[in-house]
Structure 1
């Protein structure tokens, strides 16, 4: 199956980083398209591609790293986490000759979370995260939603701006079930086929990737934890409650959560805490970043939590494609007022609430209004819904169909 090359929102940033840093590491969960991106990006056409999934190359990398690095003037080293020792040889090579874009690395584990690896490449490497495909990337547009345009425009202009973007209409349940992993999103025609692929994906992750990271003694426990997180998608992360419900020790749950985060299969969304008068909840919210994977693990029907995950995926792709990444948070007070997402960029705030209903009412905007009252410098709030029209819902709040934005 030949994977088509679709432009990615992160491609422009990758090219910019290569002009500055001798090493650029492209990280992300397995099967999100890292290899396809680095093999087909025009600016990388002169790089020699080597994958450490190849046993012979891996053995050479372990036995004689400098010899492997001498194979080409510029190299793409795929799945570099399989031979962490190679990074020391890359450091020495960079220190001998600092050539921008000399090495492009990919990995399915977060190199920055390995302290000694991060120290090895400190000042020499830039790190870029690739998430599953956004809807606009699947359509060949190479971008996430118009979050930057919304941040730069007055609230009154949002409805016309979004109508002009001509987003592609779709039932959100179909988008959730398709997800963002390239193979099921682009090649598989129905949910039954996607379930088979996701089953194999999880099996490969648990049986191949997890043992490599040497962090799990009991794979069924990790699978149970992933199912529990999928059922609690978008909820506050309570490690003690997870440990109690699953019959797993709290230190083990803590370690497993870190492993999922390192593997880009868990997103911990922090609370927005720059409050003046409200007592805020600061525990993170937990998400599995791909809505189809979360849906598969719950074994149920698409829900509003899955639509929320779909929006989160788009926001993550937007955030991590920027030269100066904006902050991404949620907001919740001790009294229960809540906004799903807060985007903060260069002092500008954009609160976003997600509702699956096709007919939003002013009651659905209560969390946004509470946030806007607390932060009057925010120009307005955006309520994404499952309907067809973009319109002012209440003062300073615009309701818009999710498909106009995501």
Structure 2
């Protein structure tokens, strides 16, 4: 093999739009001789804009290059992408035999975007078994459509929710699958909070993935009700991050951040972060800050 004849790093580059067979072949023929990097859709730093409708446009069109750069092609591109995904990638997986049932599952999953993942609920809605749902969610993860965010476990003395949270990586897919009627509705409608949360979580995930790192991000929710949208293990500390659609943060938005820092003690960072729609960094009580959501990746590296 020519790769063995020239072991200079970076000499050979292999690309592909799916990883199922590529990963299998790599594991069989190139183990120990290859670096595997993942290339998700655009991150927000690559497409920054000052336009007043910027956020609603991102939630509506998503961050795949084609629909973001050419919004008029949005519906056709996403429809074609999902059709190709189902007919090419999914059909080739042994555990997907009923493509119509899987298509329904993808649509139903979009309605559960940014929610705790409960296989029993989706199994009932889709008419399949719980093991099937778990297997299908793994397919979405493997094909870079979704993120399953694990709960953060610790010994802080609270009973915690153990279910993971489910997110589609791209908000445009969620807007399309949930039939949001417009960009304005995507931001201001019932799905606005979930779409925004998923966008910010996705940006945090990309900030590590683009560096070839496993994203050290989790969420935390106690059965008593206290919750943190993101717990980031970085810089030797636990950084609590809440995500809110508000543009006018107040002291109430710092409560969960303060609760987490009190429970985590010396393990927590001194500053909690509220990622929201403010235009510039704003101080909050308890040594917390509210920041423009697009600045979060820089603060958690």
Smaller-chain TM-score range? 0.7 to 0.9
| Residue aligning to 1:176 | 59
Greater shift, 103-112 or 337-346, is seen at: 103-112
Equivalents in 2 of 1:218, 1:231: separation in Å? Answer: 21
Report the equivalent of 1:257: 137
Equivalent residue in structure 1 for 2:37, among 128, 135, 139: 128
Look up the match of 2:175: 295
Deviation at 1:118, TM superposition (A): 2.7
Q: 1:384 aligns with which of 275, 290, 295?
A: 275
Cα gap change, 1:296/1:395 in structure 2, threshold over 3 Å: closer, same or farther?
same
Distance of aligned partners of 1:246 and 1:323 in 2 relative to their CA distance in 1, 3 Å threshold: closer
CA distance in 2, matches of 1:182, 1:251: 34
Q: How far 1:336 moved relative to its partner?
A: 2.0
Distance of 1:304 and 1:202 partners within structure 2: 24
Structure 2: give runs of 5+ residues left out of the alignment. 187-191
Which residue of 327, 340, 350 maps to 2:216? Answer: 327
Quote the Cα distance in structure 1 between the aligned partners of 2:37 and 2:63: 18
Deviations 1:79-122 (A, max 9, x none): xxxxxxxxxxxxx5545553322321223334599667435432
SS of aligned partner of 2:71: coil
1:347 CA drift (Å): 1.2
Question: In the alignment, what sits opposite 2:201?
Answer: 312
* Alpha carbons 2:204, 2:296 under 8 Å: kept: no
Distance in 2 (CA, whole Å) between partners of 1:403 and 1:251 is 37
SS in 2 for 1:292: helix
Alignment of structure 1 residues 58-137 onto 2, 5 Å: 93-95=2-4, 97-110=6-19, 117-118=26-27, 120-137=29-46
1 CA distance for matches of 2:172 and 2:288? 30
Alignment-derived partner of residue 244 in structure 2: 355
Instruction: Indicate conservation of the 8 Å contact 1:328/1:341, yes or no.
Output: yes
Normalised by the length of structure 1, the TM-score is 0.64
Establish whether residue 235 from structure 1 lines up as the match of residue 126 from structure 2: no
Alignment of 1:270 with 2:150, yes or no, is yes
Structure 1 range deviating more: 116-125 or 231-240: 116-125
CA contact (8 A) 2:254 2:286 kept: no
Please list every run of 5 or more consecutive structure 1 residues that lacks an aligned counterpart in the other structure.
1-91, 140-166
Bigger relative contact order, structure 1 or 2 (CA pairs below 8 A, ≥6 apart): 1
Larger radius of gyration: 1
- SS of the residue 2:169 aligns to: coil
Distance in 1 separating the partners of 2:127 and 2:216: 35
Question: Any conservation in 2 of the 1:326–1:346 contact (CA below 8 Å)?
Answer: no
Q: Deviation of residue 393 (structure 1)?
A: 1.8
Q: Is the 8 A contact 1:112 1:118 kept in 2?
A: no
- Judged with a 3 Å threshold, the aligned counterparts in structure 2 of structure 1 residues 259 and 344 are, in CA distance, closer, same or farther, namely same
Contact between 1:390 and 1:400, CA under 8 Å: does it hold in 2?
yes
Deviations 1:257-295 (A, max 9, x none): 121111111111111113332222232211110011111
In 2, are the aligned partners of 1:342 and 1:352 still within 8 Å (CA)?
A: yes
RMSD over aligned Cα atoms:
2.5
Post-superposition CA distance 1:230-250 (Å, at most 9, x none):
111111111122101221122
What whole-Å deviation, never above 9, does each CA across 1:19-42 have from its counterpart, x for those lacking one?
xxxxxxxxxxxxxxxxxxxxxxxx
